[in-house]
Amino acid sequence: MTNADKGYLAKCKVTVTPEFTMYREPYLVFGRPKSTIKSYETRQIFQENDTSIYYSGENSFIDSIIYSFENSAYTSCLCEIPRDQLNLLENYLAERYVYLSSNGNDLIARLTTDETAYVVTQFYSTSEILVYYFPKTTSKNEVGLIFNSEWIKTIDGIKNKAKVNLLW
């Protein structure tokens, strides 16, 4: 707040502490090498190959987290959440990300508050919910893009890559 006539300037620092703390958010600066992800992550590596790092979840709220890489650069992340954590997951994500749209069936799209990454929730099976994190790569209207064929192709590509990596 300022008062130009009197020359006063007031500032305050606001710290927001989330109410819901399900799991540690994945690293969301895409394009980085594996070494950056490894220095950020505190979870236990379960498996690793040239195109991914598969971490075990740090608690009962998350089964695993898989970081994917292309040409040694971080491209996307997938979190596997137990389906019985649905209510907590919805609160956790709503508290952190901006809701964009839903296809009315099994996909909900959100955007990080800094508008650099999409966060898409998919009700994958009766036992798992998948949460995809990938970079925002367009300046177009996101709501119009959310469930078009290119978007679905991106999500399917992440999911299929993760499935292959799980079958080492």
pLDDT at residue 167, as a whole number: 45
Residues 65/78, Cβ–Cβ less than 8 Å? yes
The residue ranges of every structural domain in the chain are: 2-166
Residue 22 has pLDDT above 90, yes or no: yes
> For residue 145, what are its two tokens?
């893009």
Q: Which residue has the higher pLDDT, 107 or 87?
A: 87
Residues 77/36, Cβ–Cβ less than 8 Å? no
pTM of the predicted model as reported, rounded to 2 decimal places? 0.79
- Pick from 91, 148, 88, 138: nearest CA to 118: 138
Mean pLDDT for 21-36 is 96
Residue range 118-154, pLDDT digits in tens: 999 988 788 999 999 989 875 555 544 455 555 555 6
Residue 168 has pLDDT above 50, yes or no: no
pLDDT at residue 64, as a whole number: 93
- Pick from 100, 95, 90, 98: nearest CA to 145: 100
Kindly state the percentage of the chain with pLDDT values over 90. 52
Residue range 75-92, pLDDT digits in tens: 999 999 999 999 999 999
